Amino acid sequence: MFKRRDRRPFLRAVFELFWPRGGWTRAARYMQHRLHRLPDSPEKIARGVFAGVFTTFTPFYGLHFVVAGGLAWLLRGNFLAAFLGTFVGNPLTYVPIGIASLRTGYWLLGIDRHEPHHTSLLHRFTMAGQDLWDNLLNWLQGNPTDWTALNAFYHTVFYPYMIGGILPGIITALVAYYLTVPVISAYQKRRRGRLNAKLAALQKKKAESTARPD
């Protein structure tokens, strides 16, 4: 019932991950429109946005909705705003986010090494996921497992990424928070003004029709 009538080719679906239909400008306007229409206070919506934006600086790929939802619950923020905030992380931004988080992590942890090039960073995450899957299959089948590669990935990429993403994540999320509050407040104020004007016009029209002689 809810399936697409025209199934997208695989290559087109992959392309739209990097360049959505209508372009990123239209996608950003759609996200802005959705945020404006949320039925909540500006502060609560902004706390949700904070949670979503901060989550994009964590290395928990595939779980960002879960992490954002949990953080929004802790901050008493709007859950839908948190989910929308995670779209700050996308195939065009994950590379600079990852490199910034790793650089910060190496600096905070005192690790004397250069951050991986973006291709090797993506490659390491891909290989780690494959190693995890292979080891889980081996464990279920009773075959020997080898966690050496995953252990190296944790210490050289995942842990520095997780620690290093905290600082830039908080800074970026705070910027998003303080931008969201006045924007949502202004929108809601204008919307209430339009609704009050329509209500006043309807009441005036009703009063005129009632006072009109038969």
Provide the sign of the torsion angle of the four alpha carbons 143, 149, 154, 158, taken in this order. Answer: negative
CA-nearest of 27, 35, 52 to 173 is 52
pTM of the model: 0.73
Taking only the tens place, the pLDDT of each residue in 76-107 is: 999 889 988 898 887 788 889 988 999 999 99
Average pLDDT over residues 159-186: 93
How many Å apart are CA 77 and CA 211, to the nearest integer? Answer: 49
Task: Assign 12 to helix, strand or coil.
Answer: helix
Q: Domain limits of the chain?
A: 39-183
Residue of 155, 129, 126 lying closest to 137 (CA atoms): 129
Quote the CA–CA distance of 139 and 136 in Å, as a whole number: 5
DSSP 129: H
Residue 51 has pLDDT above 90, yes or no: yes
Dist CA 87 CA 33 (whole Å): 14
**Average pLDDT for residues 102-113, to the nearest whole number?**
87
Residue type, 72: A
φ/ψ bin of 3: left (φ > 0), alpha (ψ from -120 to 50), beta (otherwise): beta
For the segment 148-171, the average pLDDT, to the nearest whole number, is 91
Q: How much is the average pLDDT of 103-123?
A: 74
Instruction: Give 16-49 pLDDT, tens digit per residue.
Output: 444 455 544 555 555 555 665 677 888 999 999 9
